[in-house]
């Protein structure tokens, strides 16, 4: 289990296990309205898709023995200034990226200044992130191909100069996603 150092407002550092805690109500949430954020996928906009209650938006994570500093879009934007952050993974990574962009936009005065670097609409890029391989000997007949998880495909070159890489693939390795050999 990872232990993270969290700065307290007094600038002292304490050990904080962010994985032990509970969800608590917090009226300051949500940080953004998905209907007003052009980067939020329409399929994940619960309110626009008819969810009537709003209570699910009013919760935050509270670690057991410490406080996590409140989110500040302007502070995060300053820390990320000039840096390249890459999200690599599946649809879960995609929605996390969309949510982060929507949260950061609240710290930007001119929302039109948030756009894709190449001047076109930000799009999904479908890749496997690993190298196709041959079927191992003595594999069941239903196995038609494999993926080499120890070798990334050419798309990984796009991650090389990132300052921060958020990589997610955990959802695909749960027992219900794997088959028995």
Q: Which of 39, 70, 101 is the last residue of a domain?
A: 70
Give percent of the chain with pLDDT exceeding 90. 17
Q: What is the 3-state secondary structure (H, E, C) of the chain?
A: CCCEEEECCCCCEEEECCCCEEEEECCCCCCCCHHHCCCCCHHHCCCCCCCCCCHHHCEEEEECCCCCCCCCHHHHHHHHCCCCEEEECCHHHHHHHHHHHHHHHCCCCCHHHCCCCCCCCCCCCCCCCCEEECCCCCCCCCCCCEEECCCCCHHHHHHCCCCEEEECCHHHHCCCCCCCC
Which pLDDT value is given to residue 116?
67
Would you state the pLDDT for residue 4? Answer: 46
Look at the chain and report how many structural domains it folds into: 2
**Does the pLDDT of residue 12 top 50, yes or no?**
no
Share of the chain above pLDDT 70, in %: 71
User: Is residue 12 located within the same domain as residue 46?
Assistant: yes
Residue-level pLDDT at 78? 94
5 and 43 in a single domain? The answer is: yes
16 in any annotated domain? yes
Strand partners, 131: 148
**pTM recorded for the entire structure:** 0.67
139 shares its domain with 177: yes
Query: Do 129 and 47 fall into the same domain?
Result: no
Task: Read off the pLDDT band of 52 (50, 70, 90).
Answer: confident
| 152 and 125 within one domain | yes
pLDDT digits (tens, 9 = 90+) for 105-144: 999 998 888 876 665 555 455 554 555 667 778 878 877 7
Torsion angles phi and psi, residue 74, rounded to 5: -65, -40
Residues 59 and 99 grouped into a single domain: no
Q: How confident is the model at residue 2 (pLDDT cuts 50, 70, 90)?
A: very low
Domain encompassing residue 24: 1-70
Of 70, 103, 119, the residue at which a domain comes to its end is 70
76 domain residue, yes or no: no
Task: State the average pLDDT for the chain.
Answer: 77
pLDDT for res 22:
96
pLDDT band at 11 (very low <50, low <70, confident <90, very high): very low
Domain boundary at 70, 97, 129, which?
Answer: 70
Predicted pLDDT at 176: 66
Q: Binning pLDDT at 50, 70 and 90, where does residue 47 land?
A: confident
Provide mean pLDDT across the span 94-101: 87
- Mean pLDDT lowest among 19-28, 92-101, 102-111, 166-175: 166-175
Can you give the pLDDT at residue 46?
Answer: 82
């Amino acid at each position: 289990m990872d232990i993270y150092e969290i700065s307290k407002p007094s600038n002292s550092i304490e050990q904080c296990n962010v994985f032990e805690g509970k969800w608590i109500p917090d009226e300051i949430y949500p940080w953004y309205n998905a209907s007003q954020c052009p980067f939020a996928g329409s399929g994940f906009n619960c309110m626009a898709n008819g969810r009537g209650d709003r209570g699910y938006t009013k919760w935050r994570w509270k670690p057991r023995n410490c406080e996590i500093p409140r989110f500040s879009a302007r502070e995060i934007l300053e820390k990320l200034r000039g840096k390249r952050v890459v999200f690599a993974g599946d649809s879960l990574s995609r929605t996390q990226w969309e949510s982060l962009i929507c949260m950061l936009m609240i710290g930007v005065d001119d929302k039109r200044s948030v756009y894709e670097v190449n001047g076109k609409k930000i799009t999904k890029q479908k890749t496997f992130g690993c190298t196709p391989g041959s079927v191992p000997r003595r594999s069941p007949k239903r196995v038609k191909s494999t993926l080499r998880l120890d070798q990334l495909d050419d798309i990984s070159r796009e991650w090389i100069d990132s300052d921060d890489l958020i990589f997610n693939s955990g959802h695909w390795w749960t027992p219900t996603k794997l088959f028995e050999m």
